[in-house]
Structure 1
Amino acid sequence: MDNNKALSTEQVADILHVSKSTIYDLIKKGEITSYKVGRKVRFTQEDVDNYIAKSRSLQIALSNKAFLQNDLVFELNQCCKNFIICGQDVILDVLSNYLRLNGVSALRAYIGSYDSLISLYQGKVQVTAAHLWDGDTDQYNIPYVRRLLPGIPAVIIHLTGRMQGFYVAKGNPKNIKTWNDFAREDITMINREKGAGSRVLLDENLRLLGISGRQINGYANETSSHLTVASAVSSGEVDVAIGSEKIAKQVDNIDFIPIKKERYQLIVKKDDLNTHEVMTMLKIVRSATFKKEFGNIGGYDTTDIGKIVAET
């Protein structure tokens, strides 16, 4: 992939799953590298990758208390009193903004579904969003919550339905229709990072079909966003990728083949359900205003939004 390809502010916001105003704030603080072409701000893929790497390194450093000086542990404990929502969809950024308007000091952690649940188990975050499909039960999230939060009662709250599918070149010239096509010798894919919901959907289907990732051209080529994989298909670098329908509508020269209606859901520990922060969050999610805001955006199904669908 061309790391020097110019990316717009909107594209970088989509990659990081944040608003454009957040990107401008990162530029102002010197946290992400950019350059200007006339009056327009531009980024390279390397700039974005470096920002993601720095953010992950900081999260690891902050979570590892054993390596902190004693005079910094107090600061970390203060920091961790914030209400942290973990996940990668822009719907969570909007939710966090509404929480802050209601007096809840909400922060965001941009981590994939699998690692988000582990962070919830370890007490690093208070809420996580997930869209992890289990091939044996055809269920979203419930089996993973039971496995990754052993001994911890949890509540799963439905947030939105989203369509997952294949990004292919316009007109689908290679006639890619099923998971079996990924193993064809004339097909090259680009993958999502381990733990991402789209990656788990792929791996579970390959497992059920008895197909090894080693049989697939490009399987080891990983990236961290729907937009990046869609752009790789659009530019002709690869033939297929997996992602959400919403992103497919933002990228030229690709078609979207719907495969699976997924359930994107919030998970909280049952002990936290009646806290002020979680109760405020649920009130916002269940409000007519929040539902209307995302009901009018393509790619989001707000049926059953805010409904508790399972307790583990």
Structure 2
Amino acid sequence: MRKESNPLTPAEVAEILKISKYTVYEMVKRGEIPAYRVGKKIRVDSQDLQEYIDKGKGNEPAPDEHLVLPPASLLESPLLAVETTAKAPGLVICGQDICLDILGRHLEHHPAGVRAYRQNLGSFAGLLALYQDRADLAAIHLWDSDSNSYNIPYVRRLLPGIPAVVIHLACRMQGFYVARGNPKNIKQWEDLMQPGIRFVNREAGSGTRVLIDEQFRVSGINRQMVKGYENLEFSSLAVASAVSRGIVEVGVGNQKASMQVRDIDFIPLRKERYELVIKKEDIDRAPFQAVLEILKSPAFKAELQGLGDYDLSETGKTVAEV
């Protein structure tokens, strides 16, 4: 029988986890922390939060095994479930960055706009949804080590036979999350193999996971020698939180997430290109033209600029027709 549990507000959860309230909302949105609604308010049971913390800390003798269990999928979330077996009316936008939420809101208020549906999917899954006609736009950040370029090689391979247009969203910085002051002196990829360094990975198919695996290959790093490689988190915020709470010594993610979590430092590694993929056959339709207009608008860019960690010098530019 489940014990009595006290409901917690997002602010109270943030204080317990030493993260920002915004981070809590993101974790709830991704299904990483169970939550429910009371009217328009979100609440988290204290017992559910304790179970989340216990899973992260691990109560077993081997602390590097199964540090954090995978979150429930969006389909299992009664708060944020979105139908994925068929495309919803309006435009379905795949990706995991908050800039896509802002794009969706602008789209819904545009004169030629439509309702926007958000799918928090990684880069591979987003392209697959686009290929299977379950999505209209997919935001990706996939580094190809052979060409030292982003996105275009993957679009060509994962959308076979489908002409597509790649639109630039923003450049972001990817790097290591480490404890404040970087006590383990982690500066480069080879440092992940040092004794006493616990790592937390991202899920297969995410842009960050592709960067990690490609960089391991280029650097000649045997992933079996990286303690914690098999342990997964499903967002940059969750990775940063794991480092902040001392569950691991290092993880990889974007700089913006490091600004939202306490007691960690960010070690920059690579500037990445975050870009939007649209089927060429759709580009002249009114809702998609509205998207292009929004991306180039001063209002959209100003809102992103206020969030930090975005290079918007090419936002809205068509970078390739593949």
Same topology, TM > 0.5:
yes
Identity of aligned residues (%): 43
Deviation at 1:10, TM superposition (A): 2.3
Deviation at 1:16, TM superposition (A): 5.7
Tell me the secondary structure at the aligned position of residue 311 of structure 2.
Answer: coil
Q: Please tell me whether the aligned partners of residues 15 and 226 of structure 1 are also in contact (alpha carbons under 8 angstroms).
A: no
1:80 aligns with 2:85: no
Q: 1:284 aligns with which of 294, 299, 314?
A: 294
TM-score (norm 1): 0.82
Q: Which runs of 5+ in 2 are unaligned?
A: 1-7, 15-20, 54-67
Distance 1:110 1:150 in 2: 23
Corresponding residue of 1:73: none
1:53 aligns with 2:65: no
Deviation at 1:237, TM superposition (A): 1.5
Q: 1:94 aligns with which of 95, 99, 102?
A: 102
1:307 aligns with 2:317: yes
Corresponding residue of 1:13: 25
Deviation at 1:249, TM superposition (A): 1.5
Corresponding residue of 1:141: 151
The size of the alignment, in residue pairs, is 285
1:239-264 Cα distance to aligned partner (Å, 9 max, x none): 11001111112222211110000111
Deviation at 1:182, TM superposition (A): 1.2
1:20-52 Cα distance to aligned partner (Å, 9 max, x none): xxx99x624799862389xxxx956749x9995
Task: Flag the structure with higher helix content.
Answer: 1
Corresponding residue of 2:58: none
1:128-152 Cα distance to aligned partner (Å, 9 max, x none): 1001111111111111101100111
User: Structure 1's 195 and 33: CA in aligned 2 closer, same or farther, altered over 3 A?
Assistant: farther
Q: Which runs of 5+ in 1 are unaligned?
A: 65-75
1:189-233 Cα distance to aligned partner (Å, 9 max, x none): 011111111111110000112222211100001011111111111
Q: 2:282 aligns with which of 259, 266, 272?
A: 272
TM-score (norm 2): 0.80
Q: What RMSD, in angstroms, separates the aligned Cα atoms of the two structures?
A: 3.1
Corresponding residue of 1:183: 193
Amino acid at match of 1:53: A
User: Structure 1's 12 and 61: CA in aligned 2 closer, same or farther, altered over 3 A?
Assistant: closer
Deviation at 1:174, TM superposition (A): 1.2
Amino acid at match of 1:167: Y
1:252-277 Cα distance to aligned partner (Å, 9 max, x none): 22111100001111000000110111
Q: Please tell me whether the aligned partners of residues 164 and 259 of structure 1 are also in contact (alpha carbons under 8 angstroms).
A: yes
Distance 2:275 2:197 in 1: 33
